[in-house]
Amino acid sequence: MKFLFVRHKKKTWVSLVLIFVFLFFFFLPKALSVRYVSLVKPSKIDEATSTVPVVKVFTPSYVVTPDPLKGIYMTSWVASSVNLRNGLVKLVDETEVNTIVIDVKDYSGRIVFSVQNNPELKAFGSEEIRVKDMQEFIESLHKKGIYVVARIAVFQDQYFVNHRPDLAVKNSSGSLVWKDRKGISWVDPGSKEYWDYIILIAKESRKVGFDEINFDYIRFPSDGNMQDISYPFSSSTPKHIVIRNFFEYLHSELKDSGLKTSADLFGMVTTAKDDMGIGQILEDAFPYFDYIMPMVYPSHYPPTFQGYKNPEGYPYEVVRFAMGEAVMRANLASTTPNKLRPWIQDFGLKMTYGPVEVRAQIKATNDLGLTSWILWSPSNKYTRGALNN
């Protein structure tokens, strides 16, 4: 009886093991299948390849600031045309030019590239996507070693005034938006709310791939009916203090962004002792920007400047004097003159500018020990003969 009992017990144990093994292998595939589906379902597996799609994250390459820097300016409209922009890129490839400045926000106030993953900036509705492939275009320039600068026209901003007329420069009664002689409206430079908007554009430009931000129209208006004008945020503060505070704010907000910054100043700023009613004083800009860019276009100086009846006819002399004053003031302010990088003109107003006139301005710059410059042509047509290979 004992033998039978042991034998029966052994058979029971074996049966239990067999049942356990059966249940294990029967349910395991289903359990694994359920787990597998639950893990991969959110990733939307490609049914044809059974692989998870890889989302590419754009990472700009960036280019170190060239020294010396030699540049040209490109409008967003030219940048939007492959044929037109390729002509300028070819010019860079074949000459000493190593830098292109591209509008990202001009006087119209429109941001010309697509804003990505920035709902705060996108909420302003200021996009007008003229350059649909801005990221790819900049990357193609970087692959050639070309330095790329984003130009932002700041306080001259038609769109933003329409969006927020409460921040605009007004007529003297404060009831109407003021316009300059071209019919363009301005934001009051004292509007700190608008400062933050400019910071958003600068940082977004960095994400697109720009190496540097060039700030233009960083001043109060200078033409139009200046007798019928008022400033809702700047009426009680001297203009140069308002502009200096803006410079300081830009610097504090962008110093850790990786961006280089440059400031466009009136050409007369290098020789004027006051702010000329626009708020710009050369020494106020030195501490807050990597580069200072006076617009020393001979055509823009008044008759009899330095005794010249027509300053436009004296490109070497005007640029040499204007930038010489800037160098002297930089030294007095204990600032390296290498911060100075003039805009020089490749266009004519009262006379034709060709290779001789353009090269004369470059020579004047170099004769002062300065090596960097950028050519301005509103038509984006540049004098090939003025540029070395």
What residue segments make up the domains of the chain, in order of their start? 2-43, 70-386
Looking at the DSSP assignment, which residues form a beta bridge with residue 263? 215, 292
Q: What is the pLDDT along the chain (389 residues), one digit of tens a residue?
A: 443 334 444 444 445 444 444 444 444 444 444 333 333 334 444 444 556 666 677 889 999 999 999 999 999 999 999 999 999 999 999 999 999 999 999 999 999 999 998 999 999 999 999 999 999 999 999 999 999 999 999 999 999 999 999 999 999 999 999 999 999 999 999 999 999 999 999 999 999 999 999 999 999 999 999 999 999 999 999 999 999 999 999 999 999 999 999 999 999 999 999 999 999 999 999 999 999 999 999 999 999 899 999 999 999 999 999 999 999 999 999 999 999 999 999 999 999 999 999 999 999 999 999 999 999 999 999 999 999 99
Burial of 122 (0-12, 13-18, 19+ CB in 10 A): middle
Rounded distance between C-alpha atoms, residue 330 and residue 64, angstroms? 24
Per the structure block, which two tokens stand in for 149?
């600068």
| Predicted model pTM | 0.85
| Domain formed by 70-386, architecture | Alpha-Beta Barrel (3.20)
In the block, residue with structure tokens 């019928």: 228
The 10 Å Cβ neighbour count of residue 36 is: 10
Q: What pLDDT score does 58 carry?
A: 80
Q: What pLDDT score does 44 carry?
A: 42
ω into 60 cis (within 30 of 0): no
- Of the candidates 333, 128, 149, 295, the one whose C-alpha atom is nearest the C-alpha of residue 219 is 295
Q: How far is CA 317 from CA 4, 207, 298, 321, in A?
A: 123, 41, 9, 6
CB 138 within 8 A of CB 146: no
Q: What pLDDT score does 31 carry?
A: 42
Per the structure block, which two tokens stand in for 146?
């070309």
Which residues make Cβ contacts (< 8 Å) with residue 109, sequence separation at least 6? 126, 153, 157, 158, 159, 160, 161
Residue type, 33: S
Q: What pLDDT score does 38 carry?
A: 34
User: Measured in whole angstroms, how far is the alpha carbon of residue 58 from the centre of its chain?
Assistant: 18
Three state DSSP letters for the chain:
CHHHHHHHHHHHHHHHHHHHHHHHHHHHHHHHHHHHHHHHHHHCCCCCCCCCCCCCCCCCCCCCCCCCCEEEEECHHHHCCHHHHHHHHHHHHHCCCCEEEEEEECCCCCECCCCCCCHHHHCCCCECCCCCCHHHHHHHHHHCCCEEEEEEECCECHHHHHHCHHHECECCCCCCECECCCCCEEECCCCHHHHHHHHHHHHHHHHHCCCEEEEECCCCCCCCCCCCCECCCCCCCCHHHHHHHHHHHHHHHHCCCCCEEEEEEEHHHHCCCCCCCCCCCHHHHHHHCCEEEEECCHHHCCCCECCECCHHHCHHHHHHHHHHHHHHHHHHCCCCHHHECCEEECCCCCCCCCHHHHHHHHHHHHHCCCCCEEEECCCCCCCHHHCCC
Q: What pLDDT score does 42 carry?
A: 42
The 10 Å Cβ neighbour count of residue 129 is: 15
CB 172 within 8 A of CB 178: no
Rounded distance between C-alpha atoms, residue 245 and residue 239, angstroms? 10
Count of residues for the chain? 389
Burial of 93 (0-12, 13-18, 19+ CB in 10 A): exposed
